[in-house]
């Protein structure tokens, strides 16, 4: 992660009035510069959002803004934000949840901003704004650590020793010597193992301005660019990992991520869930064992610990490794044999066999660091000690259930080959932390998304994101999409379709596959996105569709099979008529304009699993405070996800398509009215299990 301890000092905000005035001239009226100079469509919704954002920046106030698809929200905050940043000297931070939105901002929206600034004389001085994409330290190559690793393996580069480590280090060395090398792992010409990359990446105390230079370290180069940037683009996970780790301004210091910054959080509907991951503890068996292996390697030739009693050090590491393996194996055997997840309700649920071995290793590393004279070695050894300490304290907290009932604690096991066991302790309610880290920072902050409400009210989101706990007033505004949904979106709702089995919750996917196959065949040339609520449903529907459809002309892509999420999306777009079957992560953040996505089928309403530890604990917390968990949490959260899923269909003004919903609860449950009210329009057609072939006709292309 990034360290901001040496970054900008706070300045005095100026330029707010001028930024608002320029924003009005850019967006407002027939003579708006966007319309006059770039011939872009004038949208009242976009104008309203831009002016609201400009005022929030200028007033150092907070704004929640729901902007429907097609409003053009990115330009609405980027243009006033860049202008205000250059006028005030404050750094402008934009956080997104998905890579596609980051790419849209960097490759499409910001070039539009530069073009506008270049064409309007009054805006020329803003054309030279500097923008940087922030990625985590672990993604960067550190020249100092690479040199250390190469020295450690000196003499092993003749290719005869069969060392994969040596071979991969040579790949990295040769890549780093190229004049166009970015130092980012994703740009490596060949894949290298995680273990080798951990030897050379910048995620270590040894990578610092004290030990590294701008010339030899890609991370230090990136950090210098960040310090000089007016606009920093980041993703939610890195933003909240930095905030959660204490790398952001603290106490009375102004700013959310940098001292004296101002912030836009786009795709803000994901904020409470992402923040929850970083305002708690999480420790995995694989992660701790990998750390112990790194420390063991540091005792080998060229390592920073080679001079400090290898036999004693390796003995302490062996003890810690044995204790770790015993602890997590016992945890899996006792709690995770029948279920992948187990929630702990009683403290001291296991003996802490890791405490003493990890503590002994931690103390030994601290003693060695005290006598080490080489700066980079001291920092790296201290880094090892801090990481061991963090793991030790995390295990202790989970065993003691230290912060319960504010936190919920559970264990989970992966389904992969290595059966990784992970211990988690997460806050039941993240609102207090968000109120403190976002809304009490005395700076401008805008949270925006197409779905901050359940279609009518933002009350649930305001409560979850901490807005209700903030001391100052937080303005909530909404602008609906300018798209003509009635003309361009057909909606079909299923009635009296098979319900899940009451005993085991299994869904009659055989019949759903029949309906999905019919709908797909009735879409001559476009693509279909089928949204599910579990991997089991994804697999069952894929099997059913492959039996019913001609897969030679229409590829069926399934989450969790052969391709990553990014590869699935690329193939889906390229094919143009494919079927993509996905679960939770595909309900949001997918932007496929045009015919490649002409149909969205929702197999079930997206209610969270009530047995998930966080969901269960939040339900208990609401009930204990006199509330009704289903109506106060389950329904509004599902409606928000439902709106996200439907929102995948119409992405541009010229898009057309249909939505098919295969969950009869929309029509036969009282809470179904909440979902119907969240539809883009209510001129829907109803079909049944018996008449779907007649009720859902072929899609008419224009």
Predicted pLDDT of residue 501 = 60
**Number of domains comprising the chain:** 4
Tell me: do 287 and 375 sit in the same domain: yes
CATH code of 679's domain: 3.40.50.300
Does residue 690 carry a pLDDT above 80? Answer: yes
11 occurs within a structural domain: no
Tell me: do 291 and 380 sit in the same domain: yes
The C-alpha atoms of residue 168 and residue 80 are separated, in whole angstroms, by: 46
Predicted pLDDT of residue 507 = 67
CATH code of 330's domain: 1.10.275
> What would the pLDDT profile of 239-252 be if each residue is shown by its tens digit?
999 999 888 999 88
Tell me: do 448 and 502 sit in the same domain: no
> What would the pLDDT profile of 640-672 be if each residue is shown by its tens digit?
999 999 999 999 989 999 999 999 999 999 999
Tell me: do 397 and 289 sit in the same domain: yes
Tell me: do 373 and 437 sit in the same domain: no
263 occurs within a structural domain: yes
Tell me: do 525 and 669 sit in the same domain: yes
> What would the pLDDT profile of 516-551 be if each residue is shown by its tens digit?
999 999 998 899 999 999 999 999 999 999 999 988
Tell me: do 560 and 673 sit in the same domain: yes
> What would the pLDDT profile of 21-76 be if each residue is shown by its tens digit?
999 999 998 899 999 999 998 899 999 999 999 999 999 999 999 999 999 999 99
- Give the 3-state DSSP-derived string for 601-624, with helices as H, strands as E and coil as C: EECCCCCCCCCCHHHHHHHHHHHH
- Cα angle at 475 between 473 and 480, to 5 degrees? 170
Tell me: do 551 and 672 sit in the same domain: yes
Token pair, residue 212, equals 């590294």
- Cα Rg of the chain, angstroms: 27
Taking Cα atoms as reference points, which of 293, 14, 55 lies closest to residue 165?
Answer: 293
- 399 or 252, higher pLDDT: 399
Tell me: do 583 and 674 sit in the same domain: yes
Containing structural domain, residue 580: 485-695
584 occurs within a structural domain: yes
210 occurs within a structural domain: yes
Tell me: do 412 and 328 sit in the same domain: yes
* Phi, psi of 494, rounded to the nearest 5 degrees: -85, 140
Lowest average pLDDT, out of 110-124, 299-313, 368-382, 430-444, goes to: 299-313
> What would the pLDDT profile of 133-192 be if each residue is shown by its tens digit?
999 999 999 998 998 888 877 654 444 444 588 889 999 999 999 999 999 999 999 999
239 occurs within a structural domain: yes
Tell me: do 168 and 101 sit in the same domain: no
464 occurs within a structural domain: yes
Tell me: do 284 and 194 sit in the same domain: no
Neighbouring residues of 425: CB distance < 8 A, sequence distance ≥ 6:
280, 281, 282, 394, 397, 398, 401, 402, 403, 407, 408, 409
167 occurs within a structural domain: yes
- Please answer whether residues 434 and 271 qualify as being in contact, where contact means their C-beta atoms are separated by less than 8 angstroms: yes
702 occurs within a structural domain: no
């Amino acid at each position: 992660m990034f360290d901001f301890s040496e970054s900008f000092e706070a300045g005095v905000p100026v330029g707010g009035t001028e930024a608002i005035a320029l924003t009005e001239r850019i967006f407002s009226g027939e003579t708006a510069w966007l319309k006059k100079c770039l011939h872009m469509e004038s949208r009242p919704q976009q104008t309203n959002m831009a002016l609201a954002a400009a005022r929030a920046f200028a007033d150092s106030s907070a704004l929640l803004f729901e902007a429907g698809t097609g409003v053009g929200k990115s330009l609405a905050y980027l243009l006033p934000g860049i202008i205000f940043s250059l006028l005030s000297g404050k750094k402008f931070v934009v956080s997104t949840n998905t890579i596609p939105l980051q790419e849209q901002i960097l490759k499409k929206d910001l070039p539009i901003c530069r073009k506008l600034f270049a064409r309007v004389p009054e805006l020329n001085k803003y054309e030279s704004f500097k923008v940087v994409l922030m990625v985590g330290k672990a993604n960067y190559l550190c020249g100092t650590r690479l040199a250390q690793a190469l020295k450690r393996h000196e003499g092993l580069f003749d290719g005869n020793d069969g060392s994969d480590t040596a071979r991969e280090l040579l790949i990295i060395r040769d890549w780093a010597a190229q004049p166009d090398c970015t130092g980012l792992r994703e740009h490596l010409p060949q894949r290298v193992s995680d273990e080798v990359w951990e030897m050379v990446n910048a995620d270590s105390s040894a990578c610092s301005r004290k030990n590294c230079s701008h010339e030899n370290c890609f991370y230090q180069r990136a950090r210098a660019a960040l310090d000089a940037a007016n606009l920093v683009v980041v993703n939610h996970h890195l933003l909240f990992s930095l905030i959660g780790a204490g790398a952001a301004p603290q106490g009375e210091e102004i700013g959310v991520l940098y001292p004296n910054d101002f912030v836009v959080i786009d795709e803000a509907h994901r904020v409470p869930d992402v923040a929850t991951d970083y305002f708690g503890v999480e420790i995995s068996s694989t992660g701790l064992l990998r750390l112990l292996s790194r420390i063991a390697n540091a005792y080998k030739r060229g390592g920073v610990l080679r001079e400090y009693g290898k036999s004693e050090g390796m003995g302490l590491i062996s003890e810690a490794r044995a204790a770790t393996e015993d602890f997590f194996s016992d945890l899996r055997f006792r709690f995770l044999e029948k279920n992948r997840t187990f929630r702990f309700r009683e403290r001291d649920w296991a003996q802490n066999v890791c405490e003493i071995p990890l503590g002994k290793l931690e103390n030994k590393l601290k003693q060695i660091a005290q006598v080490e004279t080489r700066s980079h070695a001291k920092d790296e050894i201290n880094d090892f000690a801090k990481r061991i300490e963090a793991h030790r304290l995390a295990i202790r907290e989970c065993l003691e259930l230290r912060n319960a009932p504010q936190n919920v604690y559970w264990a989970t096991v992966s389904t992969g080959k290595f059966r990784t066991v992970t211990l988690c302790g997460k806050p039941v309610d993240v609102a207090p932390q968000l109120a403190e880290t976002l809304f009490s920072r005395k700076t401008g902050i805008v949270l925006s998304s197409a779905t901050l409400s359940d279609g009518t009210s933002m009350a649930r989101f305001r409560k979850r994101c901490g807005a209700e706990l903030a001391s100052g007033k937080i303005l909530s505004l909404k602008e609906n999409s300018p798209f003509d949904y009635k003309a361009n979106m057909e909606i079909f709702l299923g009635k009296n379709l098979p319900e899940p089995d009451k005993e085991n919750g299994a869904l009659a996917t055989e019949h759903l596959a029949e309906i999905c196959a019919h709908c797909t065949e009735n879409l001559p040339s476009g693509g279909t996105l089928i949204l599910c609520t579990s991997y089991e449903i994804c697999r069952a529907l894929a099997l059913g569709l492959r039996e019913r459809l001609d897969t030679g002309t229409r590829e069926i892509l399934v989450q969790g099979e052969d391709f990553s999420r990014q590869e699935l999306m690329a193939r889906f777009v390229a094919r143009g008529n494919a079927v993509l079957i996905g679960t939770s992560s595909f309900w949001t953040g997918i932007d496929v304009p045009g015919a490649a996505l002409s149909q969205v089928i929702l197999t079930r309403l997206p209610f969270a699993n009530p047995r998930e530890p966080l969901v269960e604990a939040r339900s208990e917390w609401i009930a204990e405070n006199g509330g009704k968990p289903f109506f106060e949490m389950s329904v509004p959260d599902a409606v928000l996800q439902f709106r996200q899923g439907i929102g995948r269909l119409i992405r541009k003004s010229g898009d057309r398509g249909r939505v098919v919903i295969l969950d009869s609860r929309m029509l036969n449950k009282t809470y179904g009215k909440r979902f119907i009210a969240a539809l883009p329009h209510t001129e829907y057609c109803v079909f049944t299990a018996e008449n779907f072939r007649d009720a859902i006709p072929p899609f008419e292309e224009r």
